[in-house]
Amino acid sequence: MRLMSHDEERPEAGEAIQRVGARVRRARARRRMTMRLLADASGVSLRFLSQLEAGEANISIGRLASVARALDVSIVELVAENPRWGQKGDSVALLGLRGAGKSTIGPRVAGQLGLEFFELDERIEEAAGMPLAEIFSMHGEGYYRRLEVECLEALLARQRPSVIALSGGIVHNEEAFAAARRGCTTVWLRAKPADHMQRVIDQGDRRPVANRPDAMEELRAILAAREPLYALADVSIDTSKAPVDEAVAQLVVELG
């Protein structure tokens, strides 16, 4: 038994195949399996697996069941139209440097998924009763990081699905980052350093470049230091390559 070929299939069938491919790709990434390793473990060909993850395969139920077993997931999780996304919790946590698109993409993804959207830094400001700049100047980074953990855990303890835009530096807060990875499907919104910088400036904030001739090199260094940690995310979307509408659609498919 198989799904219809691309020549025969209706649009919704093509969407279903893409959805299955995205879930297989995400499950494989979580288990740190190469495509070759999954092909060997499931007994399917590397060519079929490559086409499956690209959303181009004619999916036979038998071969898909073999892939599901190798990934230690149920076949239902791969094909159901509205599963509990992420398999680790109903919330989605957005990672990335300032200017990655978290505040732009996050609310739109939340709206399409029927979820609430939160900016973690806004919750921290509410908890402290002061803006971020004052938190750092009056109490220091240690106080901010403690609030970061407390506010994130409070959001997750609500047990109500949401999309949460995390701070850019949360990956350096071991406790907070662990809570996000444990309780959410994590998404890294990637962008080129120049795009990060330009987007912040376009928002009217020139502080990153004011009287700082080496601002771009500093940004590159920060991104290079954080990239290995951002790369631990379950899903990655390149917002430099995809316009906002496309990035939102991509992410909804990945989470679907």
By the 10 Å C-beta count (0-12 exposed, 13-18 middle, 19+ buried), 21 is classed as buried
Measure the CA–CA gap between 176 and 30, rounded to whole angstroms. Answer: 19
Other C-beta atoms within 10 Å of 10: how many?
9
- If pLDDT is split at 50, 70 and 90, which confidence band does 12 have? low
pLDDT at 6 over 90: no
d(CA 250, CA 86): 15
Asked if pLDDT for residue 11 goes beyond 70, the answer is no
**What percentage of the chain exceeds 70 in pLDDT?**
84
Tell me what the pLDDT averaged over the chain comes to. 83
Stronger pLDDT, 75 or 92, i.e. the higher one? 92
Task: Sort residue 177 into left (φ over 0), alpha (ψ -120 to 50) or beta.
Answer: alpha
Q: Which residue ranges form the domains of the chain, and what is each CATH number?
A: 11-79 (1.10.260.40), 91-255 (3.40.50.300)
165-201 pLDDT, tens digit each: 999 999 999 999 999 998 899 999 998 888 877 777 7
Instruction: Give the residue, 44 or 200, on which the prediction is more confident.
Output: 44
**Mean pLDDT, residues 28-45 taken together:** 87
Give the mean model confidence (pLDDT) for residues 151-164.
90
Residue 63: closest CA among 43, 46, 79: 43
What is the pLDDT at residue 196?
78
Kindly report, residue by residue over 200-210, the tens digit of the pLDDT. Answer: 777 665 555 45
Task: Work out the angle between the directed axes of helices 46-53 and 35-42 (0-180°, nearest 10).
Answer: 120
pTM (two decimals): 0.66
Q: Tell whether the model's pLDDT for residue 233 goes beyond 50.
A: yes
Q: What is the mean pLDDT of residues 232-255?
A: 87
pLDDT in tens, 208-232: 545 566 778 888 888 889 999 999 9
Q: Which residue has the higher pLDDT, 58 or 52?
A: 52
Q: What is the mean pLDDT of residues 11-16?
A: 64
